[in-house]
Amino acid sequence: MDIIFKTCPECGKKSIQPIQDDYLEEDGVVIPSLEYFQCASCKAVFFDDAAMRRIEALRGISKRISSRKVHAIPSSRVKPA
* Contact call for residue 37 and Zn ion (CB under 5 A): no
Binding region for Zn ion (CB under 5 A) out of 31-39, 45-53, 58-66, 70-78: 31-39
Q: Report how far residue 57's alpha carbon sits from residue 15's, in angstroms, rounded to the nearest whole number.
A: 29
* Contact call for residue 40 and Zn ion (CB under 5 A): no
Which one-letter amino acid corresponds to residue 56?
E
Q: Give the side-chain half-sphere CA count within 13 A for 5.
A: 24
DSSP structural state of residue 31: E
What string marks each residue from 4 to 23 as x (binds Zn ion by CB under 5 A) or -? ----x-xx------------
Tell me the number of residues near Zn ion by CB under 5 A: 7
* Contact call for residue 41 and Zn ion (CB under 5 A): yes
Binding site for Zn ion (CB under 5 A): 8, 10-11, 39, 41-42, 44
